[in-house]
Amino acid sequence: MQLLPGLLWLLVSGSAALEPISLSIVIGAASVLTGYLSYPSFYCGFVECCPGEADRPNTTALKEDLDNKLFGQHLAKDVILKAVTGFRNNPNPKKPLTLSLHGWGGTGKNFVSQFIAKSIHKAGQKSKFVHLFIATLHFPHEHQITLYKDQLQTWIRGNVSACARSVFIFDEMDKLHPGLIDAIKPFLDYYEQIDGVSYRRAIFIFLSNAGGDLINKVALDFWRSGKDRKQIQLKDLEPVLSVAVFNNKNSGLWHSSLIDKNLIDYFVPFLPLEYKHLKMCIKAEIEAGGKKINEAIVDEVAKEMTFFPKDEKIYSDKGCKLVEQKLLYYWERL
C-alpha 139/C-alpha 251 separation (Å) is: 14
Residue 324 CB partners (closer than 8 Å, separation 6+): 285
Share of the chain above pLDDT 70, in %: 87
310 is in an annotated binding site: no
Contact (CB, 8 A) for 80 and 57: no
What rounded mean pLDDT belongs to the chain? 89
Report the predicted TM-score, pTM, of the whole model to 2 decimal places.
0.87
252 is in an annotated binding site: no
Is there a binding annotation on residue 85? no
The reply, when asked if residue 45 is annotated as ligand binding, is no
To the question of whether residue 103 is assigned a binding role by annotation, the answer is yes
C-alpha 269/C-alpha 5 separation (Å) is: 55
Region 294-315 average pLDDT: 94
Per-residue pLDDT tens digits for 16-25: 444 555 656 6
Write the pLDDT tens digit of every residue in 133-180.
999 999 999 999 999 999 999 999 999 999 999 999 999 999 999 999
Q: Is 155 annotated as ligand-binding?
A: no
Go through the domains of the chain in sequence order and give each one's CATH number: 3-43 (no CATH), 59-269 (3.40.50.300), 275-333 (no CATH)
Give the torsion through C-alpha atoms of 58, 63, 65, 68, to 10 deg: -150
What 8-state DSSP symbol labels residue 230?
G
Q: Does residue 67 register a pLDDT over 90?
A: yes
Write 259-263 long-range contacts (CB < 8 A, 24+): 261/185, 261/189, 263/95, 263/98, 263/185, 263/188, 263/189
Cα 278 to chain centroid, rounded: 22
| Spatial contact of 184 and 173, defined as CB atoms under 8 Å apart | no
